[in-house]
């Protein structure tokens, strides 16, 4: 029997990308099922692929504001968005509604609750956002990426990792082809460097200070700078120090960068850690110090202390000599194999489930008129 899934996600790529990854996996596993995205801002969201996924817009505004006018606007748009979502749900008739956080998702999820449609939430970060924290108790299940998150949510939490987009799977990409894409050699160790959407400048500055150390070493670099100006400057910088490097301002094929890399240096966003785990790449994490609730520190702690996949360096201590020593520790063949093996073991543990499996199981329970039992 065909299933119908409504997905609500908005805002940043950290919400949109895993939502699209789930949609692709649901389509692959349930060929005749229907997917509909519903949220605010989808028509203009740069991360959402409107050419692939059907969607409908609903009204939404930030709800948590000290400004009385913004608060009033938020309440008005919430009520309007809930009414719009109720009409969409009654027409689409979803078996399950899946939410990925941000205020854009609140109206559809409240509408689902009103109409008694099962809700599954996904929280990507170690410290949950306000929307998911508020809505967790209404959900049948809450999929979490980090074990620590369970202590901060009231819902029925289950560790499911992070859904990744099509193509972001280790066994689908040839390493030689990935290296060739960046013009790099299979005979050298490859260091992937990027700062993400926040804080790339500090990591770019760090790599400038390290440039002289790469000369005459078997290390080659893929560096995603986050800006065209920085990319142009760093290309000249690496060339002056005779460092083999592929430098780009942005890279849409990050799955190829991950496949080419032996080790990485980056911030510790949830998507970064999920992708590092999928491609089994150890790395150095420098948490963005201004992240909300310092969630990047907790994200890094998970990868370092639980997965045993890398080294955490706080930004104030990320001096060139410390980072260089950490890289040398990581690329030591014995240490590298040990960390790659640790990542693989955690990723492939027998009790691991996925968000897709959680959603499909919830749809089956709904058809049997059964609510899920809370896991202990």
The answer on whether 12 is annotated among ligand-binding residues is yes
Q: For the sheet containing 4-8, what is the strand order? A: 55-57, 34-39, 4-8, 96-99, 119-123, 141-144, 157-159
Residues 7/36, Cβ–Cβ less than 8 Å: yes
Residues 48/36, Cβ–Cβ less than 8 Å: no
Alpha carbons 94 and 271: distance in angstroms, whole number? 28
The answer on whether 165 is annotated among ligand-binding residues is yes
Residues 339/310, Cβ–Cβ less than 8 Å: yes
The answer on whether 220 is annotated among ligand-binding residues is no
The answer on whether 196 is annotated among ligand-binding residues is no
Element (H, E) at 114: helix 106-114
The number of beta carbons lying within 10 Å of the beta carbon of residue 12 is: 17
The answer on whether 296 is annotated among ligand-binding residues is yes
Phi, psi angle pair for 311, to nearest 5°? -130, 135
Q: Is 183 exposed, middle or buried (0-12, 13-18, 19+ CB in 10 A)?
A: exposed
Phi, psi angle pair for 251, to nearest 5°? -145, 115
The answer on whether 180 is annotated among ligand-binding residues is no
Compute the CA torsion angle 194, 196, 199, 200 (nearest 10 deg): 30
Residues 200/226, Cβ–Cβ less than 8 Å: yes
Q: List 194's β-bridge partners, or say none.
A: 224
Residues 123/153, Cβ–Cβ less than 8 Å: yes
User: Pairing relation of β-strands 283-285 and 263-266?
Assistant: parallel
The answer on whether 272 is annotated among ligand-binding residues is no
Range 336-354 burial, b when 16+ CB lie within 10 A, else e: beebbebbeebbeeeeeeb
Of 40, 53, 44, residue with least CA distance to 10 = 40
Q: Which residues are annotated as a binding site?
A: 12-14, 125, 165, 197, 296
Binding residue ranges for UDP-N-acetyl-alpha-D-glucosamine: 12-14, 125, 165, 197, 296
């Amino acid at each position: 029997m065909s299933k119908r899934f409504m997905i609500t996600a908005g805002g940043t790529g950290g919400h949109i990308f895993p939502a699209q990854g789930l949609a692709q996996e649901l389509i692959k596993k349930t060929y005749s099922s229907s997917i509909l995205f519903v949220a605010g801002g989808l028509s203009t969201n740069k991360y959402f692929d409107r050419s692939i996924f059907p969607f409908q817009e609903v009204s939404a505004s930030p709800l948590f504001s000290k400004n009385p006018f913004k608060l009033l606007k938020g309440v008005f748009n919430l009520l309007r968005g809930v009414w719009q979502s109720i009409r969409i749900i009654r027409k689409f008739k979803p078996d399950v509604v899946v939410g990925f956080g941000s205020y854009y998702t609140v109206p559809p999820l409240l509408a689902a609750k009103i109409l008694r449609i099962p809700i599954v939430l996904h929280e990507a970060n170690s410290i949950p956002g306000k929307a998911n924290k508020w809505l967790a108790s209404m959900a049948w299940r809450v999929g979490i990426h980090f074990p620590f998150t369970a202590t901060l949510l009231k819902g029925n939490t289950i560790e499911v990792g992070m859904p990744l987009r099509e193509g972001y799977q280790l066994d689908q990409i040839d390493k030689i082809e990935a290296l060739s894409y960046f013009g790099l050699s299979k005979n050298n160790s490859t260091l992937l460097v990027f700062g993400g959407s926040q804080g790339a400048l500090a990591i770019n500055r760090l790599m400038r200070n390290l440039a002289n150390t790469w000369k005459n070493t078997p290390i080659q670099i893929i560096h995603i700078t986050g800006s065209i100006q920085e990319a142009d400057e760093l290309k000249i910088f690496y060339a002056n120090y005779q460092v083999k490097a592929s430098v780009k301002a942005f890279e849409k094929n990050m799955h190829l960068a991950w496949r080419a890399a032996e080790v990485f240096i980056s911030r510790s966003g949830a998507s970064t850690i999920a992708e590092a785990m999928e491609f089994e790449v150890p790395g150095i994490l420098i948490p963005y110090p201004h992240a909300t609730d310092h969630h990047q520190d907790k994200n890094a702690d998970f990868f370092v202390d639980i997965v045993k996949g890398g080294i955490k360096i706080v930004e104030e201590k990320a001096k060139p000599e410390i980072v260089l020593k950490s890289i040398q520790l990581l690329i030591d063949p014995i240490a590298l194999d040990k960390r790659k093996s640790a990542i693989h073991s955690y990723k492939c543990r027998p009790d691991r489930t996925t968000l897709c499996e959680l959603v499909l199981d919830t749809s089956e329970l709904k058809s049997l008129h059964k609510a899920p039992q809370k896991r202990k």
